Structure 1
């Protein structure tokens, strides 16, 4: 991006250099002309291919470019929208919105870049809302939404052909460790559903089209409150203060614990069936060692 800006700026100078104006020139200089050249009367014009003395060269880029407000004569900084640029290229705009706009006239698409009123830097496409947002005070990055609430917040689906994501799980960084129990009962209360997203929410997100499978966050919250959080969300004409977010990764340890509970029940039932079959065949006495063997199996 920096290279593109530099190239564009230099090209602009090259295109306009033939009509540049110079102040305080010697009236006797034969290169000077009084012909109209598009500049105020108090500025001097020189014809192309004529020579101006070095002390007469005092270019006014504000008059030349019209959109560049100031070039600092001390440090060479360029300001667009500001008369006191503090960096090499300083772009300034009032309010919030785009500071840089890239347009394609053949497609009618415009890309906008700039800060918002709440400390975000955004890149978006007009009338589409393909947002990339970076929040400076938290480091949160959002793709497909304007207000990310996590380090990486993707609105839609993400694909990885080979990459994997690892999670810190070292015992030395954890405390208050307790075994997870009672998961089978909670799993039985969860209700998987099929559904479709409303039009205002899915907008241009093709991945959200058609029938989906999953859970309703409000229903899961009644069974497992720790799996659900809330955030702010805007879609269509709606502004929701308590938009529910479901952390489905917590289902993995719960499912493992539920499987262990079922396995224990299966082992117990197998032992009982074996005892009952033995009694039926007359091979087990009332003084059977079944209780002891059952405890060993468990």
Structure 2
């Protein structure tokens, strides 16, 4: 019976799913082929103590490429685990806005960059920043303890290290649409050059002291 009359327009279950836009499943309730979801996907566990998993496998279904999961023992945390064989290290995101991983590596190959310019006046720029501890509001009801610098202060001396990260909640509970974030790895440019500037100053002082030692009063 055609779809216009309330049917599926197909003779097989697979064709019916295709005609009706229902995701294709195999005998193990696994998606296969290209799927399009216009709204949302709900992943439920079989018991209250189980983990909710969204698995990704090779075509043979034997090798896991990775998994997104929510553990029953860590409510408020989502973990992502890319697999190479049968397991892998999990990176996690929690409801307090914390991202946890073993290491973090950022692309920094010289061959991929242009407009390379050495930072100058790094020590002076660092002296304009304050090292602070604070509480950061991440939701209407959640605050997290932190330490670092203020984006607005860093923006004055190293604008490329500051970006608009999106929506946030201020200390009064008001929604901020253009909350700013800091690329803390970019601060390493200030640290490196400021250290070199200090070493140069120390070397000049050493030379001056040696010169004074040879002067007779």
In the superposition, the TM-score normalised over structure 2's length comes to 0.59
**TM superposition outliers: structure 1 runs of 4+ over 6 Å:** 90-93, 122-125
Residue 165 of structure 1, aligned match among 92, 98, 105: 105
Residue 215 of structure 1, aligned match among 140, 146, 149: 149
Number of aligned residues: 176
Long gaps (5+) in structure 2: 1-6, 26-30, 55-67, 81-90
Q: Is the 8 A contact 2:138 2:169 kept in 1?
A: no
- How big is the alpha-carbon RMSD for the aligned residues of Structure 1 and Structure 2? 4.5
Q: Is the 8 A contact 2:155 2:161 kept in 1?
A: yes
Alignment of 1:1-298 (within 5 A): 72-74=10-12, 76-77=14-15, 79=17, 84-85=20-21, 88-89=24-25, 96-102=39-45, 104=47, 106=48, 130=77, 144=93, 155-160=97-102, 165=105, 167-170=107-110, 172-198=111-137, 200=139, 203=142, 208=144, 211-233=145-167, 239-279=175-215, 281-282=216-217
Long gaps (5+) in structure 1: 1-68, 114-121, 134-141, 147-153, 283-298
Change beyond 3 A, Cα 1:182–1:96: same
Q: Distance in 1 between matches of 2:99 and 2:79?
A: 15
Per the TM alignment, residue 145 of structure 1 is displaced from its structure 2 partner at its CA by: 7.7
Compare relative contact order (CA 8 Å, sep 6+) and give the higher one, 1 or 2. Answer: 2
Q: Deviations over 1:38-84 (max 9, x none)?
A: xxxxxxxxxxxxxxxxxxxxxxxxxxxxxxx96942462464xx971
Q: Is the 8 A contact 1:78 1:87 kept in 2?
A: no
Per the TM alignment, residue 167 of structure 1 is displaced from its structure 2 partner at its CA by: 2.9
Q: Is the 8 A contact 1:78 1:88 kept in 2?
A: no
Match of 1:200, SS? coil
User: Which structure is larger by alpha-carbon Rg, 1 or 2?
Assistant: 1
Q: Is the 8 A contact 2:51 2:69 kept in 1?
A: no
